[in-house]
Amino acid sequence: MRTRTVANMGKYTGQILEEIYTPEVIESRVNQLAKQISADYAGKVPILIGVLNGSVFFLADLAKQLDIECEMDFIKVSSYHMGTQSSGTVRLIKDISCIVTDRDVIIVEDIIDSGLTARFLKHRILENQPSSVAFATLLLKPDCLKLEFTAEYVGFEVVDRFLVGYGLDLDQKFRNLPSIWAFPEDMQV
Ligand code: IMP
Ligand code: MG
């Protein structure tokens, strides 16, 4: 198992991260999801709505592997204020700019933790009467769900540890790491 030590990040400095998904493993799982979505949406032109900022790498890799036509747009919400703790409230920061009425929409997220953000996003899209809404998330923490929420496409189910890399951040850092890394279980925040 590869590890890396956090540098230059105040109270997080010195923490040891463990690599839990390598770029190769992520790529092969994203390709599988793309195959499944291509089959499920054959003959349709879905709009992929990426949730900024965390989903950018996943959305880009997924979209490039689709065999069907698609459109892309973005939405930005905030649920995490600082560190690793969710504030519990979701705020819309940047809305979609496309028209989703009578369209097939796939919301693309990096991770579902409590599920609050996912529920908020789904409701936001449903307000505009799309033909369908599905949810694709690279990661899901099933033990952390605070409400009933089912995502149609899930890359990996993960344990309750704070993850970074491949789009996921801690205070905006680490998004650019090609692998997904886990902070220690007993991480101090
Ligand atoms: P939820 O509303 O609690 O499901 O949180 C969803 C959002 O929290 C995600 O879109 C992420 O931005 C962030 N988040 C949740 N867990 C993690 C994590 O382990 N690492 C980085 N961000 C996370
Ligand atoms: Mg996010």
Atom nearest to 112 CA in ligand 1: 4
Q: Hey, what amino acid is at 91?
A: R
Of 32, 74, 45, the closest CA to residue 132 belongs to 45
Inform me whether the pLDDT recorded for 23 exceeds 80.
yes
Q: Among 111, 174, 176, 179, name the best residue to mutate to test ligand 1's pocket (greatest count of ligand atoms within 8 A of Cβ).
A: 111
Number of domains in the chain: 1
**Which CATH number belongs to the domain containing residue 98 in this structure?**
3.40.50.2020
Just list the catalytic residues.
113
Q: Is the CB of 162 under 6 A from ligand 1?
A: yes
Q: Is the CB of 158 under 6 A from ligand 1?
A: no
Q: What is the mean pLDDT of residues 124-137?
A: 98
* CB-based neighbours (< 5 A) of ligand 2, an ion: 54, 110
Q: Is the CB of 115 under 6 A from ligand 1?
A: yes
135-174: per-residue pLDDT in tens? 999 999 999 999 999 999 999 999 999 999 999 999 999 9
66-117: per-residue pLDDT in tens? 999 999 999 999 875 556 666 678 999 999 999 999 999 999 999 999 999 9
Q: How far is the CA of 54 from the centre of ligand 2 (A)?
A: 4
Q: Quick check: is 67 in a domain?
A: yes
Q: Quick check: is 115 in a domain?
A: yes
Q: Quick check: is 55 in a domain?
A: yes
d(CA 11, CA 19): 21
Q: Quick check: is 148 in a domain?
A: yes
Q: Quick check: is 8 in a domain?
A: no
pTM value is 0.94
Beta bridge partners of 136: 108, 153
Atom nearest to 77 CA in ligand 1: 10
pLDDT at 40: 98
Instruction: Supply the residue whose CA is at minimum distance from atom 12 of ligand 1.
Output: 54
Q: Is the CB of 168 under 6 A from ligand 1?
A: yes
Q: Quick check: is 37 in a domain?
A: yes
Q: Quick check: is 13 in a domain?
A: no
Atom nearest to 158 CA in ligand 1: 19
pLDDT at 188: 57
Inform me whether the pLDDT recorded for 186 exceeds 90.
no
Q: Which ligand is nearest to the CA of 163?
A: 1
51-71: per-residue pLDDT in tens? 999 999 999 999 999 999 999
Which residues span the domain enclosing 78?
23-182
Cis ω before 53 (30° cut-off from 0): yes
Please classify residue 110 by burial: count the beta carbons closer than 10 Å to its beta carbon, then call 0-12 exposed, 13-18 middle and 19+ buried.
buried
| DSSP 3-state of 22 | coil
Q: Quick check: is 18 in a domain?
A: no
